[in-house]
Amino acid sequence: MKVKYDPESDILIFIMKDVPPSNAISEAGGIIISYDETDEPISIEFLNASQRQLINPQETDLKIYQET
């Protein structure tokens, strides 16, 4: 999985598959989910990510937590 942040548009993107999307659905709260040809989700975009405190653009480390 890849994680990207675009500071100009303030969008945080989680990319599960690196394939072109065939469909995208905008969900409530500024979330966009993209799907491949088989309707499997391939990416999730969070709009206004820093304003919603999903990411701090000043931090360069991404912490991943795994439940045990």
* Mean pLDDT value of segment 40-62: 86
* Mean pLDDT value of segment 51-59: 82
Structural domain span for residue 43: 2-47
Quick: pLDDT tens for 4-27.
Answer: 988 899 999 999 999 999 999 999
- Residue 37 DSSP code: T
Res. 64 pLDDT band, cuts 50 70 90: low
Res. 62 pLDDT band, cuts 50 70 90: low
Residue 33 falls inside a structural domain: yes
Residue 58 falls inside a structural domain: no
Q: Alpha-carbon Rg of the chain, whole angstroms?
A: 13
pTM of the model: 0.80
Question: What's the total number of domains in the chain?
Answer: 1
